[in-house]
C-alpha cells in the first residue's frame, strides 16, 4: 500500500500526457486520456494515476489528506510556458495604437520604438519595482493554469541591467509557486549606445556578460535574436558557440520575420529549441524534423502583429519535429500570459489538433526546458502539478472561448488556486 496526502477523485477526463517524451508525429495525438480518472500524491510527488478500484487496492490516504472532488472537472498537467520575456518594465500601448493605424512592428522598431522602449523603462526600474511587476504577472499565469515557465532577460542590454533582470527571476523563483527557468538573452537587440559598434557589443556579450552570468549561476539557457537588423546568422553562430563553451544550453529566436536559417543553425548546434519559425524554409523544416531541437511555436505573435503568415505547424509535425507551444509573453509582440489562449490559437490558426496542442503545451514544452523528467505529464514519480478545469470534457478547453475555466491549480502537491482564486501561502 502507498500513502498519499492528496487525492483528486473521478475527473471526467484526466489527461496524463504520459508516454514517450518528446512526442513526435502520431504520438502527439495521445493525451493519455483516463475517464473518471484518479490521481494522488505524497509530499508533492505523484504516487498514483488510475481508476477508483485500483486506487482502493493500492493507496491508503493519510489522516489529514486533502480530497478534491473531480466530478464535473477536467484535469491535466499544469501548463509549461517555455518562452516568456517576463521581467520587463513599462507597457507599449502607444506603439500598439500606431500598429492599428497601419505601421508595422519593424517600421516602429526602426523609429526607435519597439524593444528599445522597453529597454529604457527596464533600465530605469529598480530590482524591487521589477519584482513587484513580475509578481502580478506570475499570479495571472498561475490563475491561467501555468505552473512552470522559462523567462528571459534581454531588456537590460548592459551588464548591470541584465544581471538585475536575472536576479529578479532568481528572487521570484524563491517567493512564487511557479517554477522559473532563467535564460540570459543579452543578445535580444543591439542597445542604442552600441548601434554603430555591434562588434563591440558582441565582444561585451562574449567576454564580460556570459562569464559573469555563468559565474553568478544566474541562467541555464542562452538565447539570441537571429534576425535581419539584429544578429546575423554568422553572429548568432559565434554567440551560440561562446555560450556553449561557457556552459549554457541554447535557444534561438529563429526565422521570425526573415528566413536567415536560424532553424538549421539551432539543429546543427544542438540547441534545445528554435523558437518562432514563421519564416522557416523547407530546409529548416527538414533539419528540425531530424533533430532533437524543439520547434517552439508562438502563435500569439502573428495574431498580435496581425500577420497573415503563421508557422508551418502541420509540416513540422508531419515531418517529425518535436513541436511545443509557448506564449512569448512580452509587451511588444505578445501581451498575453495565457497558455490556453495560445493553445486555442494553435488549433484555430495553425490547424493543430486539440490533442497535439495539449501535448505541445505540457509534455513537449517540458522537454524544451529539459524538465520532462519532473513535469509536463502526470506520471508516478513526477511532480504533482495539476490543473482542474470547469468544463465537461477536454475538447471544451478549446471549443469554449473567452472564459477562464481553470478552477483549481495544484503545484507541488499543494492547492495554490482554489475556486479561481489564489490561496495565500
Q: Which stretch binds ligand NIG (CB under 6 A): 111-119, 195-203, 277-285, 410-418?
A: 111-119
Q: Which of 81, 95, 328, 379 is the binder for Fe ion (CB under 5 A)?
A: 328
Q: Which does 122 bind (CB under 5 to 8 A by kind): Fe ion, ligand NIG, none?
A: none
Closer residue to ligand NIG, CB minimum distance, 41 or 122? 122
Which positions from 168 through 207 interact with ligand NIG, judged by CB under 6 A?
none
CA proximity to 290, closest of 261, 257, 322, 336: 322
How many CB atoms sit inside 10 A of residue 128's CB? 10
CA proximity to 16, closest of 57, 59, 56, 74: 74
Closer residue to Fe ion, CB minimum distance, 276 or 411? 276
Rounded Cα distance, 354 and 98, in Å: 34
Per-residue binding letters, 248-267, with ligand NIG (x by CB under 6 A): -----x--x-----------
Rounded to a whole number of angstroms, the distance between the first and last alpha carbons of the chain is: 31
Residue entry with cell 508516478: 380
148 three-state secondary structure: strand
Shortest Cβ contact with Fe ion: which residue? 328
On the CB side of 296, CA atoms within 13 Å amount to 32
Q: Which stretch binds ligand NIG (CB under 6 A): 330-338, 342-350, 370-378, 389-397?
A: 330-338
Closer residue to ligand NIG, CB minimum distance, 115 or 138? 115
DSSP string, 181-250: EEEEEEETS--GGGTT-HHHHHHHIIIIIHHHHHHTT--SEEEEEB-TTSB-HHHHHHHHHHHHHTT-EE
Which positions from 140 through 169 interact with ligand NIG, judged by CB under 6 A?
none
* β-pair type (323-325, 294-297): parallel
CB of 378 to ligand NIG, least distance (A): 30
CB of 47 to ligand NIG, least distance (A): 39
Q: Which of 42, 89, 115, 313 is the binder for ligand NIG (CB under 6 A)?
A: 115
Q: Which of 5, 12, 328, 379 is the binder for ligand NIG (CB under 6 A)?
A: 328
Q: Which stretch binds ligand NIG (CB under 6 A): 8-16, 113-121, 335-343, 397-405?
A: 113-121
Closer residue to ligand NIG, CB minimum distance, 228 or 282? 228
Q: Could you tell me how many residues of this chain bind Fe ion (CB under 5 A)?
A: 1
Closer residue to Fe ion, CB minimum distance, 254 or 398? 254
Closer residue to ligand NIG, CB minimum distance, 47 or 185? 185
332 in contact with ligand NIG (CB under 6 A): yes
Rounded Cα distance, 385 and 392, in Å: 21
CB contact burial 252-277 (16+ within 10 A = b; e otherwise): bbbbbbebbbbbbbbbebebbbbbbb
* β-pair type (221-225, 249-254): parallel
Shortest Cβ contact with ligand NIG: which residue? 332
Q: Which does 118 bind (CB under 5 to 8 A by kind): ligand NIG, Fe ion, none?
A: ligand NIG
Rounded Cα distance, 88 and 54, in Å: 48
Q: Which stretch binds ligand NIG (CB under 6 A): 16-24, 196-204, 282-290, 328-336?
A: 328-336
Q: Residue 326 contacts by C-beta under 8 Å, 6 or more apart in sequence?
A: 81, 82, 83, 84, 150, 275, 296, 297, 298, 339, 342, 365, 368
Q: Using CB under 6 A, list all residues that contact ligand NIG.
A: 114-115, 118, 225, 253, 256, 301, 328, 330-333
Q: Using CB under 5 A, list all residues that contact Fe ion.
A: 328
Amino acid at each position: 500500500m502507498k500513502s498519499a496526502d492528496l487525492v483528486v477523485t473521478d475527473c471526467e477526463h484526466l489527461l496524463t500526457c504520459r508516454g514517450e517524451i518528446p512526442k513526435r508525429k502520431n504520438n502527439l495525438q495521445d493525451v493519455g486520456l483516463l475517464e473518471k480518472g484518479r490521481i494522488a500524491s505524497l509530499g508533492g510527488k505523484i504516487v498514483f494515476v488510475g481508476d477508483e478500484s485500483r486506487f482502493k487496492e493500492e493507496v491508503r490516504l493519510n489522516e489529514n489528506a486533502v480530497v478534491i472532488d473531480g466530478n464535473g472537472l477536467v484535469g491535466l498537467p499544469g501548463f509549461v510556458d517555455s518562452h516568456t520575456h517576463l521581467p520587463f518594465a513599462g507597457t507599449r500601448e502607444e506603439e500598439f495604437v500606431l500598429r492599428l493605424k497601419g505601421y508595422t512592428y519593424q517600421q516602429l522598431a526602426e523609429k526607435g520604438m519597439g524593444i528599445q522602449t522597453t529597454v529604457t523603462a527596464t533600465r530605469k526600474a529598480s530590482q524591487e519595482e521589477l519584482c513587484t511587476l513580475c509578481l502580478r504577472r506570475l499570479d495571472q499565469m498561475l490563475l491561467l493554469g501555468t505552473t512552470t515557465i522559462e523567462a528571459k532577460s534581454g531588456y537590460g542590454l548592459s551588464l548591470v541591467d541584465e544581471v538585475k533582470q536575472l536576479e529578479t527571476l532568481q528572487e521570484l523563483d524563491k517567493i512564487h509557486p511557479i517554477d522559473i527557468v532563467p535564460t540570459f538573452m543579452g543578445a535580444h537587440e543591439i542597445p542604442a549606445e552600441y548601434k554603430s559598434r555591434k562588434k563591440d557589443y558582441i565582444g561585451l556579450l562574449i567576454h564580460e556578460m556570459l562569464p559573469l552570468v555563468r559565474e553568478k549561476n544566474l541562467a541555464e539557457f542562452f538565447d539570441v535574436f537571429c534576425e535581419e537588423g539584429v544578429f546575423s546568422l554568422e553572429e548568432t553562430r559565434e554567440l551560440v558557440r561562446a555560450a556553449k563553451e561557457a556552459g549554457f544550453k541554447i535557444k534561438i529566436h529563429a526565422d521570425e520575420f526573415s528566413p536567415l536559417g536560424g532553424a538549421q543553425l539551432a539543429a546543427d548546434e544542438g540547441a534545445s529549441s528554435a523558437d518562432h519559425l514563421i519564416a522557416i524554409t523547407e530546409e529548416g523544416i527538414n533539419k528540425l524534423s531530424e533533430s532533437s531541437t524543439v520547434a517552439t511555436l508562438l502563435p500569439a505573435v502573428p495574431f498580435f502583429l496581425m500577420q497573415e503568415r503563421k508557422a508551418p505547424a502541420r509540416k513540422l509535425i508531419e515531418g517529425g519535429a518535436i513541436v511545443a507551444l509557448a506564449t512569448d509573453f512580452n509587451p511588444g509582440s505578445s501581451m498575453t500570459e495565457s497558455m490556453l489562449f495560445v493553445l486555442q490559437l494553435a488549433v484555430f490558426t495553425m490547424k493543430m489538433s486539440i490533442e497535439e496542442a495539449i501535448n505541445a503545451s505540457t509534455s513537449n514544452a517540458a522537454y524544451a526546458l529539459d524538465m520532462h523528467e519532473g513535469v509536463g505529464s502526470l506520471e508516478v514519480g513526477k511532480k504533482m502539478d495539476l490543473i482542474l478545469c470547469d468544463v465537461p470534457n477536454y475538447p471544451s478547453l478549446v471549443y469554449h472561448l473567452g472564459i477562464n475555466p481553470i478552477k483549481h491549480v495544484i503545484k507541488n502537491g499543494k492547492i495554490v488556486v482554489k475556486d479561481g482564486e489564489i490561496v495565500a501561502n
